[in-house]
A and B are shown apart, each in its own frame.
Chain A
Amino acid sequence: MMRLKDISINNLRRRKGKVFFLILGLTIGITTVVTLISITRMMNDDISRKLDEFGANILIIPRSDDLSLSYGGMNIAGVSIDAQMLKDSDVPKIRQIEVRENISTVSPKLIGVVEIEGKRVPLMGVHFEEELRLKKWWKIHGDTPKSPEEVLLGNEVAIRLFKSTGDTMVVNGKSVRVSGVLDETGSQDDFLIFGDLTFVQGAMKKAGAISLIEVSAFCNTCPIEEIVKQISKKLPHAKVTAIKQTLQTKMEALDHFKKFSVGISIIILLIGGLIVFTNMMASVNERKREIGIFRAIGFRKSHIVRIIFLEAFIVGLMAGVIGYIFGLGVSHIIGPMLTGMKSSKLAIDPLLAAGAITLSALIGILSSAYPAIHASKMDPTAALRAL
């Protein structure tokens, strides 16, 4: 019938105009935060989706101090000399790390040098299925090798060997057919012959050996270094390195955006809090007499604090709900513009919604702490000057 909450609610109703601006101020803050969080997530998803287009971002090579060969900007040890090598059995271990769901592609390779028609050419054994997933930019004239006796030629190699699609050649005594030639990539791939891994291992008499493993991984919540660390633990004899590349740059950009978002959010929320503070302070001073009456009637200081906090809580709750809905709408509109993604369907994230509403209510209450205490400390006789 009549509780402290009724006093709070009735007072808010009376001050509709001021309460409107109070809610508006806090709503703008919450809307901004929800929008920024949603857009950050969209960008994250966007990167996640484009992951395969960027190729590998982790390179695993044998630990060795020996001579090395450069591949993809990384030094690969133990290619030219028989140093310690990785093994076929290392490959499945990578998929056993804790954050394994973040690993998208694992592509083991063996590199060696073979002599073909009097020319020394680097040969790389790969699993074509994985390799093609990693290298979306490859354009093949002809076909992907379908059998172990088929190879793919890098653009430069094809020119030097005068070979094209359909030609055959002999590799370490085994005849193979060129199923396709790669378009120029501008990378080391132009100088390589790609063959089936098992075939290359056999041809080079290195059964089960692997020179390097390329891994493409993406982790929304953990840094790439974490994945690197976990793989290193599984493969103590290997050197695991993260490759800085497009994805990395994009993630760094996202990281900057995240930091920017946090900064903006804090400022906007501080302003929101300040609006609540000044509004509540004005309200409390306006109600000096009323608070004096409450005190004279026997309300404790804590009752006064509760009335003010309840008002702030209600305002915060409303601003939280409205702010979340607005934020959802705004990010739905401007998100696609920023990320270049097609607008996805409007999905309510219960966690974000709960977070936004809690945050809003919390700001409401925290910003009202001083006004509430100030109100409770008002001298009731001063408040009731008429007495």
Chain B
Amino acid sequence: MRSALCRRKSMSLIEIKKLNKTYDSGEECVLALCDVDLNIERGEFISVMGPSGSGKSTLLTILGGLNHPTRGEVVVDDIPIYKLPLEKLADFRREYLGFIFQSFQLIPYLNVIENVMLPLTITEKSNQEQKKMAEEILERIGLKGKERRLPDQLSGGEQERVAIARALVNSPPILMADEPTGNLDSKTGKEIIELFKSLNEEGQTIVMVTHNPENTIFSTRTISLKDGRVEGNF
């Protein structure tokens, strides 16, 4: 899927057209996103800012192929992702996206290297390949020597690094992060943002949702959302 469509480099990596999302919560319809248009280029480090309820999490889940929009289109690498059948959409997530969830979301009964290898379990990669890829990314992220530990034997910063390693192990074109520093002290948070910066410098496209303005210092662009609309894009 990836290679076939990489030829059209003129296109933006992500194109969002007239995106609308309403949540039907019983009696009233809540408008979460309203006519959002957005293009994201390869190699960008985008911060999505906004107060809670502004729709930034909704935007991230829709970008992440997890949440069908009510109207509008999301085209990633020339693929209109919400026109894909559900199982193909799952394949798309596997190939294109690395997720870093709020509060890490590691699998508690898998050790560090197993958590990192999780996205590889459903690929054709051999055991040795899997191990090599996981070890490489763990070394890159600074967790060498802690492969056999379980998540609850790690500090918050280390858990976050495992989550980042898991998101990157498959070398996805897009890294998505939801409040990556939300559960970390400011010093560790800073380290993580610096790690993002260096990843971005190596060419990694990053979309990060945050409400901490300090996190946006290394971003190439910050998008502000308010009441489901794009307020600022600079």
Task: Kindly state the separation between the CA atoms of A293 and B114 in the bound complex, as whole angstroms.
Answer: 14
Which residue of the partner chain B has the closest CB to A295? B90
List A residues 270-329 near B (Cβ within 8 Å): 289-290, 293-303
List B residues 50-93 near A (Cβ within 8 Å): 57, 60-61, 64, 66-67, 86-87, 90-93
Interface of B is mostly: helix
Contact A302 B101 (CB under 8 A): no
Task: Kindly state the separation between the CA atoms of A332 and B76 in the bound complex, as whole angstroms.
Answer: 67
Confirm or deny: A4 has a beta carbon within 8 angstroms of a beta carbon on chain B.
yes
Between A and B, how many residue pairs show CB distances below 8 Å?
89
Report B-chain residues with C-beta under 8 Å of the C-beta of A297. 93-94, 99, 118-119, 166
Confirm or deny: A351 has a beta carbon within 8 angstroms of a beta carbon on chain B.
no
Contact of B109 among A10, A302, A303 (CB under 8 A): A10
Contact B121 A4 (CB under 8 A): yes
Task: Kindly state the separation between the CA atoms of A260 and B60 in the bound complex, as whole angstroms.
Answer: 60
Residues of A participating in the B interface, judged by any CB pair closer than 8 Å: 1-4, 6-7, 10-11, 13-14, 289-290, 293-303, 380-381, 384, 386-387
Contact with A along B94-134 (1 / 0, CB 8 A): 11010101110101111000100111111000011011000
Contact A4 B114 (CB under 8 A): no
Known: A13-B109, A301-B87. 12 other contacts (CB 8 A): A2-B118, A7-B121, A293-B101, A297-B118, A298-B91, A298-B119, A300-B87, A301-B86, A381-B67, A386-B103, A386-B105, A387-B61
Contact A296 B122 (CB under 8 A): no
Report A-chain residues with C-beta under 8 Å of the C-beta of B119. 297-298
Q: Report how many residues on chain B are interfacial, defined by Cβ distance under 8 Å.
A: 37
Task: Kindly state the separation between the CA atoms of A384 and B93 in the bound complex, as whole angstroms.
Answer: 15
Report A-chain residues with C-beta under 8 Å of the C-beta of B61. 381, 387
Confirm or deny: B15 has a beta carbon within 8 angstroms of a beta carbon on chain A.
no
Report A-chain residues with C-beta under 8 Å of the C-beta of B118. 2, 7, 294, 297
Task: Kindly state the separation between the CA atoms of A283 and B95 in the bound complex, as whole angstroms.
Answer: 29
Which residue of the partner chain B has the closest CB to A302? B87
Report B-chain residues with C-beta under 8 Å of the C-beta of A13. 109
A2 to chain B, nearest CB (A): 4
Confirm or deny: B178 has a beta carbon within 8 angstroms of a beta carbon on chain A.
yes
Which residue of the partner chain B has the closest CB to A304? B90
Report A-chain residues with C-beta under 8 Å of the C-beta of B99. 296-297
Q: Which of A14, A294, A296 has the most CB of B within 10 A?
A: A296
> Given A297-B94, A298-B94, A2–B105 Cβ distance below 8 Å?
no
Report A-chain residues with C-beta under 8 Å of the C-beta of B87. 300-302
Contact of B105 among A4, A289, A300 (CB under 8 A): A289
Task: Kindly state the separation between the CA atoms of A386 and B117 in the bound complex, as whole angstroms.
Answer: 23
Contact B114 A6 (CB under 8 A): yes
